[in-house]
Amino acid sequence: MSEKFKGPFGSCCKDLSDAMKQPPSSFFFVEKNQVLYLTVGYVQTEKGPGWFDQAVIFCPFCGKQLQSREEIAKKAARG
């Protein structure tokens, strides 16, 4: 298991930092519960678009571990 990166999301490498800032809005985002997510798909419904988001554990650019499954579960439980 790799050592978890301790900085804020987007500070592990320039590529993730840039990806989180892409206009008009990034597919990477931090929820109110402080979990980093990546939008991986969407579906058009009769009520409008529905988005499928996945919590990011490892940076897709540099491979550093950003959060653990345990951290995500605790933060998600808090709301």
Global pTM value: 0.82
Residues of the chain above pLDDT 90, percent: 78
Residue 28 tokens, joined: 């990477």
Q: How far is residue 27's CA from residue 34's CA, in Å, rounded to a whole number?
A: 16
**Per-residue pLDDT tens over the stretch 8-39:** 999 999 999 999 988 766 789 999 999 999 99
